[in-house]
Structure 1
Amino acid sequence: MKFRNTFNTLFFLLVLFGFGIVNLAFFQSGSVSSLEQRNLVRRPAFSLDRFISGEFPREFDDYFSDHFAFRTLMAKAGAYLMEFKGLPDKNEATILQQGGDNTSQNLKPGNGTGAAANTGQAVQYLIFKDRAYTLFKYSEPSAERYADALNRFKSAVDPEIRVYSLLAPTSADFIEEEKYRELSYSQKAAFDHINESLNPEIKPIDAYGMLARHIDEELYFRTDHHWTALGAYYAYVKLMDALGEEPVPLNSYLKGEIKEFLGSAYKATLSFRLRAHPDTIIYYEPAEKYTYTRYSTAGKEIEGGAVDPEYAKASGGLYSVFLGGDFPWGEIQTEHKNGRKILVVKDSYANALIPFLIPHFENIYYIDPRFFSGSLTGFVKEHDISEVLFLNNSTVARSQGIAELINKRM
Structure 2
Amino acid sequence: MKHNSKLNIIIFLTFIFGFGIFNLALFQSDKISSLEQRVLTQKPVFTLARLFKGEFTREFDNYFADHFVFRNTLVKAGARLMNLKGLSGSNEATLVRKGGDNTVKNNTSSDAQYLILNGHSYTMFQYSSGAAEAYAKALNRFKQAAGSKVRVYSLLAPTSAEFIDNDNYKSMTDSQKKAFAHINELLDPGIVQIDAYNAMAQHIKEYVYFRTDHHWTALGAYYAYTKTMEAMGQQATPLSRYEKGNIEQFLGSAYKATLNYKLKANPDTITYYKPFVNYSFTRHLSNGKTLEQSKVVSPDYAKPSIGLYSAFLGGDFPWGEISTDNKNGKIMVVKDSYGNALIPFLLPHFEKIYIVDPRYYKESLTDFVKKQGITDVLFINNSTVARTTGIADLLNQLMDTKK
Give your verdict on TM over 0.5: yes
Which of residues 279, 288, 294 in structure 1 aligns to 2:283?
A: 294
For 1:376, the aligned partner's letter is L
How far, CA to CA, are the matches of 2:367 and 2:340 in structure 1? 23
Q: Do the aligned partners of 1:84 and 1:90 also contact (CA within 8 Å) in 2?
A: no
Question: 2:174 aligned with 1:185, yes or no?
Answer: yes
How far, CA to CA, are the matches of 1:136 and 1:79 in structure 2? 22
How far, CA to CA, are the matches of 1:100 and 1:20 in structure 2? 29
Q: Do the aligned partners of 1:292 and 1:305 also contact (CA within 8 Å) in 2?
A: yes
How far, CA to CA, are the matches of 1:348 and 1:394 in structure 2? 12
Matching of residues 137-286 of structure 1 within 5 Å? 137-286=126-275
How far, CA to CA, are the matches of 1:157 and 1:56 in structure 2? 46
Instruction: State the match for 1:113 in structure 2.
Output: none
Q: Do the aligned partners of 1:342 and 1:389 also contact (CA within 8 Å) in 2?
A: yes
How far, CA to CA, are the matches of 1:22 and 1:334 in structure 2? 58
**3-state SS in 2 of match to 1:391:** strand
For 1:42, the aligned partner's letter is Q
Q: In the TM superposition, what whole-angstrom CA distance separates every residue of 1:221-271 from its partner, at most 9, and x where no partner exists?
A: 000000000000000000000000000000100110000000000000000
How far, CA to CA, are the matches of 1:2 and 1:141 in structure 2? 61
Question: 2:26 aligned with 1:37, yes or no?
Answer: no
Which of residues 288, 291, 298 in structure 2 aligns to 1:308?
A: 298
Q: Do the aligned partners of 1:26 and 1:70 also contact (CA within 8 Å) in 2?
A: no
Matching of residues 316-327 of structure 1 within 5 Å? 316-327=306-317
1:399, distance to aligned residue in structure 2 (A): 0.8
Flag structure 2 segments of 5+ consecutive residues without an equivalent.
none
Flag structure 1 segments of 5+ consecutive residues without an equivalent.
108-116
Q: In the TM superposition, what whole-angstrom CA distance separates every residue of 1:165-185 from its partner, at most 9, and x where no partner exists?
A: 101010001111022111100
Q: In the TM superposition, what whole-angstrom CA distance separates every residue of 1:262-298 from its partner, at most 9, and x where no partner exists?
A: 0000000000000001001011011111001111112
TM-score of the two chains, using structure 2 as the length reference: 0.97
Instruction: State the match for 2:388 in structure 1.
Output: 399
Question: 2:327 aligned with 1:337, yes or no?
Answer: yes
1:90, distance to aligned residue in structure 2 (A): 4.2
For 1:308, the aligned partner's letter is S
Identity %: 59
For 1:47, the aligned partner's letter is T
Matching of residues 42-121 of structure 1 within 5 Å? 42-104=42-104, 106-107=105-106, 117-119=107-109, 121=110
How far, CA to CA, are the matches of 2:386 and 2:122 in structure 1? 17
For 1:66, the aligned partner's letter is D
Question: 2:366 aligned with 1:377, yes or no?
Answer: yes
Which moves more between the two structures, 296-305 or 52-61? 52-61
**Residues matched between the structures, number:** 398
1:93, distance to aligned residue in structure 2 (A): 0.5
Q: In the TM superposition, what whole-angstrom CA distance separates every residue of 1:56-92 from its partner, at most 9, and x where no partner exists?
A: 2222222222111111111111111111113113421
Q: In the TM superposition, what whole-angstrom CA distance separates every residue of 1:77-120 from its partner, at most 9, and x where no partner exists?
A: 1111111113113421010001233422x32xxxxxxxxx313x
How far, CA to CA, are the matches of 1:359 and 1:28 in structure 2? 48
Matching of residues 118-137 of structure 1 within 5 Å? 118-119=108-109, 121-137=110-126
How far, CA to CA, are the matches of 2:100 and 2:225 in structure 1? 27
How far, CA to CA, are the matches of 2:3 and 2:241 in structure 1? 82
1:51, distance to aligned residue in structure 2 (A): 1.9
How far, CA to CA, are the matches of 1:375 and 1:284 in structure 2? 32
Q: In the TM superposition, what whole-angstrom CA distance separates every residue of 1:328-364 from its partner, at most 9, and x where no partner exists?
A: 11110000012x1000111000000000000000000
Which moves more between the two structures, 46-55 or 222-231? 46-55
Q: In the TM superposition, what whole-angstrom CA distance separates every residue of 1:182-205 from its partner, at most 9, and x where no partner exists?
A: 110000100000111111111111
Question: 2:357 aligned with 1:368, yes or no?
Answer: yes
How far, CA to CA, are the matches of 1:325 and 1:102 in structure 2? 13
Q: Do the aligned partners of 1:102 and 1:264 also contact (CA within 8 Å) in 2?
A: no
1:314, distance to aligned residue in structure 2 (A): 1.6
Question: 2:368 aligned with 1:408, yes or no?
Answer: no
**3-state SS in 2 of match to 1:220:** coil
**3-state SS in 1 of match to 2:103:** helix
